[in-house]
Amino acid sequence: MKKLMLLTTGGTIASLEGENGLVPEMNADDILRHLPGFNLLCQIDSKALINIDSTNMQPEYWVEMANAVYEHYEEYDGFVITHGTDTMAYTSAALSYMLQDLEKPVVVTGSQIPISFKKTDAKRNIADAVRFACEEIGGVYVVFDGRVIQGTRAIKLRTKSYDSFESINYPYIASIYKEHVEYSKPLYLVENKKMKLDTSLCTDVSLVKLFPGIKPEFFDCLKDQCQGIVIESYGSGGIPFQGRNILEKLNELIACGIPIVITTQCLEEGEDMELYEVGRKVNQDVIIRSRNMNTEAIVPKLMWVLGKTQDPQKVKELMETPIADDITL
Ligand SMILES: NC(=O)C[C@H](N)C(=O)O
């Protein structure tokens, strides 16, 4: 019989109706009590790590989650982490960088409706997560509404629907039909890897979404505030150089040694900064290309990379290196 560890962090799945709306209050045992019969399938031990609405998620909690998996890695065959949906995609990406060469599954799941409510999707999602955590597969995954998504590729696309999550620029790993896991493509377990834990982070990063009219002066206040910047530009990726000149400001920041990653506000198909003049004008030797990574992966990746080096060229090299299938070229 497989042995799993359930780590709980809060979210809607653990929420009860309070005076001020939904508040995460249930602990790991309360959640397990809603799932009778589970111990016939596998043995599940549980541990409550935190109990927060994931809107309150902090990078320090990612470290706590990664450490918990690392600490108990040898004792269990797989891990299920229950989590709020709002920042679940950031967490699954962060864990994908912190825990590499996994030979066991780390499955992140949650729900749109609390587990104690009649129309809850929590029971199905946990059942699917447990099912997938029993697979012979390594890596970090999001399991939601019957789909398995690579940890670095998930985004929360819908605020209310059960099918809240999508896999961006990458196929679903699998679909789960009750007891049956149907893989989209054959996956091979790379055996005899030694799992690596690396939780060093530099959280001094900024994420800026461009819009027509954004003030160049805004970028001045970033100079002393951050070690790295992610710019969500438009379409195929370009920076405005006419009218309010943002390109000039980015060049100033680059001259100060601040690494800048360019991504796009378009969810699908990634940037292609070589296509237009607005992209080519950006110095491609120093700017960091995000290709088809999503923002939820870029932000924790930049924190993780900056936790290792602040040398702009090395940051560029590491950011542009695919990790956990976050980039496909
Ligand atoms: N569905 C949810 O879990 C949303 C909740 N606000 C959270 O992220 O914790």
pLDDT, tens digit, 9 for 90 and up, residues 187-236: 776 677 899 999 999 999 999 999 999 999 999 999 998 999 999 999 99
CB 31 within 8 A of CB 74: no
Cα distance between residue 171 and residue 149, in whole Å: 8
CA dihedral 290→292→293→296, nearest 10 degrees, is: 110
82 is catalytic: no
In this prediction, residues 156-171 reach a mean pLDDT of 97
From the CB of 53, is ligand 1 less than 6 Å away? yes
Between the CA of 84 and the centroid of ligand 1 the distance, in Å, is 4
Q: Which of 82, 85, 120, 264 is flagged as catalytic?
A: 85
Ligand 1 centre distance from Cα of residue 204 (Å): 25
Cβ(323)–Cβ(97) under 8 Å? yes
| Listed residue (140, 152, 58) closest to 99, CA to CA | 140
- pLDDT tens, position by position, 48-57: 999 999 999 9
Tell me, in angstroms, the distance from the centre of ligand 1 to residue 11's CA: 5
Residue whose CA is closest, atom 3 of ligand 1? 84
Is the distance from the beta carbon of residue 296 to the nearest atom of ligand 1 less than 6 Å? no
Q: Is the CB of 86 under 6 A from ligand 1?
A: yes
Q: Is the CB of 96 under 6 A from ligand 1?
A: no
Residue 329: per-residue pLDDT: 82
Comparing CA positions, the residue from 92, 106, 99, 101 lying closest to residue 134 is: 106
Q: Is the pTM of this model over 0.90?
A: yes
pLDDT given for residue 259 in this prediction: 98
Atom of ligand 1 nearest to the CA of 164: 1
The answer to whether the CB of 121 is under 6 A from ligand 1 is no
CATH number of 205-319: 3.40.50.40
Residue 136 to residue 152: CA distance in whole angstroms? 19
Q: Which amino acid, one-letter code, is at 243?
A: G
Q: CA dihedral defined by 25, 48, 43, 137, rounded to 10 degrees? A: 110
Mind listing the pLDDT tens digit for each residue in 246-283? 999 999 999 999 999 999 999 999 999 999 999 999 99
Q: Is the CB of 242 under 6 A from ligand 1?
A: no
pLDDT of residue 221: 93
Ligand 1 pocket residue status of 251, Cβ below 6 Å = no
Is 12 part of the annotated catalytic residue set?
A: yes
Residue 82: pLDDT band by 50, 70, 90 thresholds? Answer: very high
Shortest-distance Cα residue to atom 7 of ligand 1: 84
Is the Cβ atom of 100 under 6 angstroms away from ligand 1? no
Angle at 270 between CA 106 and CA 145, to 5 degrees: 40
3-state secondary structure the chain: CCEEEEEEEECHHHEEEECCEEEECCCHHHHHHCCCCHHHHCEEEEEEEEEECHHHCCHHHHHHHHHHHHHHHHHCCEEEEECCCCCHHHHHHHHHHHEECCCCEEEEECCCCCCCCCCCCHHHHHHHHHHHHCCCCCEEEEEECCEEEECCCEEECCCCCCCCEEECCCCCCEEEECCEEEECCCCCCCCCCCCEECCCCCCCEEEEECCCCCCHHHHHHHCCCCCEEEEEECCCCCCCCCCCCHHHHHHHHHHCCCCEEEEECCCCCCCCCCCCHHHHCCCCCCCEECCCCCHHHHHHHHHHHHCCCCCHHHHHHHHCCCCCCCCCC
Asked whether this chain's domains 3-197 and 205-319 adopt the same fold, the reply is yes
The ligand 1 atom nearest the CA atom of 24: 9
How many other C-beta atoms lie within 10 A of the C-beta of residue 75?
9
Q: Which atom of ligand 1 is nearest to the CA of 86?
A: 8
Mean pLDDT of 290-316: 98
Domain ranges of the chain: 3-197, 205-319
Residue 187 CA, ligand 1 centroid: distance in Å: 31
- Other CB atoms within 10 A of residue 273 CB: 22
Instruction: Give the CATH superfamily of 3-197.
Output: L-asparaginase, N-terminal domain (3.40.50.1170)
Q: How far is the CA of 184 from the centre of ligand 1 (A)?
A: 28
Neighbours of 55 (CB within 10 A): 9
